[in-house]
Amino acid sequence: MRIEIWSDVVCPWCYIGKRRFERALSAFDARDDVEVVYRSFELDPHAPAERADLLTGHLAGKYGVDLTQAQAMQDRVTSLAAVEGLTYRLDLARTARTFDAHRVLHLARKQGVQPAMKERLLRGYFSEGAWVADPDVLVRLAVDVGLLEVDVRDVLSSDAHGAEVRADEQEAAALGIQGVPFFVVDRRLAVSGAQPTEVFTQLLEQGWSRRQVA
């Protein structure tokens, strides 16, 4: 059974949803027969590569609120993340163009370490203040999960895997995906958002049942 997850590496709800999904998967009897594939989705595909403003100011401008309200938004999601065992340091986070990060994720999938790469990017951005638009940062995080520096730099200095990123995004549009995280089971069932673990458990069970009678 294949689970495809459209998400971005700077999406706070994507990390929370990932943890809740992983909890459901770890308790699923057929978990060894489940393949998880991360698909590309850019929350802000037009973000400038050199933008370096902190997240609070960016949110205030994006949603038309003051800094106090933007901080309250961050505090709420930080508290929810903590319930899932995640440490968010949004005071360190800088908004970033994520196209290159998604290209590295496609390299990681090709080399069999995509789940680890996804986790490293999320932890780097949300817990460590890593600026995931910086090629050197992407190289460092990729090396942490076993990718070779030369391979990562070859990707980042070329247009490698760019077509795969765009293909994922075109598929998202075709499927009507407007927000992430978005979970698709065998292209038959889907759930949107960082749902409670119980919802992901039901999704896995329903997907498996349909697979058995197909």
Q: What's the CATH number where 106 sits?
A: 3.40.30.10
What would the DSSP string read from start to end of 86-106?
----TTT-B----HHHHHHHH
53 vs 56: CA distance, rounded Å: 8
Count of structural domains, the chain = 1
Give Dmax (Cα) for the chain: 54
User: By residue range, what is the domain housing residue 177?
Assistant: 2-213
d(CA 46, CA 22): 31
CA distance 60 to 203: 35
Q: Which of 170, 167, 195 is nearest to 181 (CA)?
A: 195
Enter the pTM of the model. 0.94
User: CA-to-CA distance for 58 and 153, rounded, in angstroms?
Assistant: 29
User: Could you read off the pLDDT tens digit of each residue along the chain, which spans 214 residues?
Assistant: 999 999 999 999 999 999 999 999 999 999 999 999 999 999 999 887 665 567 777 777 777 888 888 888 899 999 999 999 999 999 888 888 999 999 999 999 999 999 999 999 999 999 999 999 999 999 999 999 999 999 999 999 999 999 999 999 999 999 999 999 999 999 999 999 999 999 999 999 999 999 877 6
∠ at Cα 96 (93, 101), nearest 5°?
110
